[in-house]
């Protein structure tokens, strides 16, 4: 299949939403659940093809065309109704897809039978092959010429590619995640895509995209157990019915070909990829998975459930009962409803700690301490040691060191030294000795700024960074020799409006960011940059200097105290509450990771 044909096919099945700028968020209620900044309510998807309105003025017809361009069905058959026959034949709708906002249609020239308009807008993103969204920002301008044909205005000249208006996307398309396996096989990693179409088409779209594989930048960091696999026949309900597949109850049935002699453990990974992709896209089980007509695993002849692959749940919380900690007065303390207790040993009594991170299992601590030395001597030192006995080893010194971030293996911690050098401090389990190794981060250095924050995702496959106040996501790739590199940095915080101060991963595909602004100090950003949601601001007193999150709760430190936001609270009762045990204290929250 040619690239043009693939683009057309991808555009038919997978589209995107766009970055939501903060200028429209000031009127959002600060006690509500997260809402897309500047969006409108999502309506039901529709497959209707609206014909041009008879007698429509050319500028209004042009606006109608831009709205119709959001429907990619049959090579944009809806939009082609607004073109002359010759323009429809010439139009290469697969050349590009640009998403725009705040569209202006400006008259340049008009006669009785010919009119020229310039469309000016804010460019906010692109649709790429496979339903991938790429955030961007800038000015957009394109010229359109319309002529009268049989008394009706039609577009006769325009640039190749598709121009689509953001509000129409936000009203019609859904973000869904494909899931691929992280290298160790312990969990699955999201790869966000945007799809359109009817609900019963979603299962086939998602499984088809899974088989095609991860996006190119993510491919070196994950495994796809469905590579080379094909789907036999149509995807149906679990009992074989072909109508309303993936809608409501009844599950789905998928017959795979090409698994060959794949073993039991690998087949479980196949099931995990499919099940979490469908389950997190609101497609319910049971999931009847077959290989060449036979059960994928003989233990589940009547279908799998999410419980059967629960160990790889991408939304699961850590099983370790580590609990909330805080950095208070230069020391690490554990937090209970009745108050705080310094931890044992060095970390609870140092008095000069500037930032702290707990390993995911709660066994180890990494902290940045103040050396007390004057410039040009190093002012910061990374210390790594045991939580239980407080034993500690120095790792590295520098003019500055960012807040540490633990890798999923619980034996290595990442940090940025002097704003540019990314390092891993690896602790040997037997001896407790710490070795510091560099992380290849040339792609980050090309951004030309200073890194003030780096946080690894819980699956270890991505890193979120703040570089000169701007928010980026990068891919973590491990080479066969065991070395690590940060690749493909993408800015995802377009429209943030003010510098980012702190960030952390909420889920594997969303990041919570505090920004230097007083109106909405905390936002949530999708990892592909397609959404920016305002979190409530009620009770907060900016600046919010630190963010620490889990999949269920966000913690922040503002200018007065430490607050928490519970994701399970009802929308009308969702606001920041002061953390019991830290009331009235100026502290920094600390969670595992």
CA–CA separation, 393 and 345 (whole Å)? 12
CA–CA separation, 592 and 305 (whole Å)? 29
CA–CA separation, 474 and 101 (whole Å)? 26
Task: Say if CB 513 and CB 493 are below 8 A apart.
Answer: yes
- 83 vs 51, 61, 147, 166, CA distance in Å? 12, 10, 10, 21
For position 261, what pLDDT does the model report?
Answer: 87
Residue 83 forms beta bridges with which residues?
A: 155
DSSP code of residue 269? H
CA–CA separation, 453 and 449 (whole Å)? 12
Give which of 504, 534, 542 is closest to 33, Cα–Cα: 534
> Dihedral sign, CA of 416, 420, 426, 427?
negative
CA–CA separation, 74 and 12 (whole Å)? 7
For position 388, what pLDDT does the model report?
Answer: 87
* Beta strand segments in 129-187, E: 132-149, 152-157, 162-165, 174-181
Each residue's pLDDT tens digit in the chain (593 positions)? Answer: 443 344 333 333 333 333 333 333 332 333 333 333 322 223 333 445 578 999 999 999 999 999 999 988 889 999 999 999 999 999 999 999 999 999 999 999 999 999 999 999 999 999 898 999 999 999 999 999 999 999 999 999 999 999 988 888 877 788 999 999 999 999 999 999 999 888 999 999 999 999 999 999 999 999 999 999 999 999 999 999 999 999 999 999 999 999 988 999 999 999 999 999 999 999 999 999 999 999 999 999 999 999 999 999 988 766 457 889 999 999 999 999 999 999 999 999 999 999 999 999 999 999 999 999 998 999 999 999 999 888 899 999 999 999 999 999 999 999 999 999 999 999 998 888 999 999 999 999 999 999 999 999 999 999 999 999 999 999 999 988 889 999 999 999 998 999 999 999 999 999 999 999 889 999 999 999 998 999 999 899 999 999 999 989 999 999 999 999 998 888 778 899 999 999 888 999 999 98
HSE-up (13 A, CA, CB side) for residue 223? 14
CA–CA separation, 82 and 154 (whole Å)? 5
Tokens of 197: 């179409």
CB neighbour list of residue 211: distance below 8 Å, 6 or more residues apart: 226, 227, 229, 230, 231
CA–CA separation, 246 and 236 (whole Å)? 8
DSSP H/E element including 209: helix 202-212
For position 1, what pLDDT does the model report?
Answer: 43
């Amino acid at each position: 299949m040619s690239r043009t044909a693939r683009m057309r096919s991808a555009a038919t099945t997978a589209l995107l939403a766009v970055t939501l700028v903060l200028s429209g968020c000031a009127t959002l209620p600060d006690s509500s659940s997260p809402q897309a900044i500047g969006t409108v309510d999502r309506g039901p998807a529709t497959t209707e093809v609206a014909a041009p309105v008879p007698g429509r003025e050319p500028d209004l017809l042009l606006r109608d065309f831009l709205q119709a361009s959001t429907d990619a069905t049959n090579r944009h058959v809806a939009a082609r109704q607004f073109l002359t026959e010759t323009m429809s034949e010439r139009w290469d709708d697969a050349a590009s897809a640009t998403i725009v906002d705040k569209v202006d249609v400006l008259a340049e020239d008009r006669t009785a039978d010919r009119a020229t308009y310039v469309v000016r807008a804010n460019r906010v993103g692109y649709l790429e092959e496979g339903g991938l969204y790429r955030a961007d920002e800038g000015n957009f301008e394109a010229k359109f010429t319309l002529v009268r044909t049989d008394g009706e205005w039609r577009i006769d000249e325009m640039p190749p590619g598709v121009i689509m208006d953001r509000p129409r996307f936000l009203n019609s398309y859904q973000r869904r995640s494909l899931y691929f396996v992280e290298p160790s096989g312990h969990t699955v990693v999201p790869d966000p895509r945007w799809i359109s179409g009817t609900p019963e088409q979603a299962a086939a779209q998602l499984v088809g995209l899974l088989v095609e594989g991860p996006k190119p930048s993510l491919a070196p960091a994950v495994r796809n157990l469905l590579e080379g696999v094909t789907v036999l026949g149509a995807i149906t309900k679990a009992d074989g019915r072909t109508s309303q597949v993936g809608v409501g109850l009844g599950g789905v049935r998928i017959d795979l070909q090409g698994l060959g002699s794949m073993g039991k453990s690998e087949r479980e990974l196949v099931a995990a990829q499919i099940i979490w992709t469908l389950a997190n896209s609101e497609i319910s089980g049971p999931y009847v998975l077959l290989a060449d007509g036979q059960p994928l695993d003989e233990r589940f002849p009547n279908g799998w459930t999410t419980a059967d692959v629960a160990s790889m749940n991408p939304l699961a919380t850590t099983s370790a009962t580590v609990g909330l900690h805080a950095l208070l007065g230069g020391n690490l303390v554990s937090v209970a409803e009745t108050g705080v207790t310094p931890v044992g040993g060095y970390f609870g009594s140092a008095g000069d700690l500037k930032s702290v991170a707990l390993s995911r299992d709660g066994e180890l601590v990494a902290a940045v301490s103040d050396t007390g030395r004057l410039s040009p001597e190093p002012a910061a030192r990374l210390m790594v040691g045991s939580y239980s006995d407080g034993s500690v080893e120095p790792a590295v010194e520098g003019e500055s060191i960012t807040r540490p971030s633990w890798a999923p293996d619980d034996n290595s911690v990442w940090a940025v030294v002097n704003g540019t050098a990314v390092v891993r401090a690896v602790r040997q389990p037997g001896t407790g000795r710490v070795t510091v190794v560099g992380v290849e981060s040339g792609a980050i250095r090309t951004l030309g700024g200073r890194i003030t924050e780096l946080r690894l995702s819980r699956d270890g496959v991505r890193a979120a960074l703040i570089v000169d106040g701007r928010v980026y996501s990068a891919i973590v790739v491990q080479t066969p020799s065991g070395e690590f590199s940060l690749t493909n940095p993408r800015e995802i915080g377009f429209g943030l409006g003010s510098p980012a101060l702190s960030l952390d991963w909420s889920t594997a595909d969303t990041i919570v960011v505090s920004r230097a602004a007083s109106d909405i100090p905390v936002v949530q950003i999708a990892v592909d940059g397609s959404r920016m949601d305002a979190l409530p601001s009620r009770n907060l007193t900016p600046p919010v200097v630190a963010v620490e999150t889990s999949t269920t709760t966000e913690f922040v430190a503002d200018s007065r105290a430490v607050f928490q936001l519970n994701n399970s609270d009802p929308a009308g009762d969702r606001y920041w509450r002061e953390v019991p045990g830290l009331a009235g204290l100026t502290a920094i929250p600390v969670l595992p990771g």
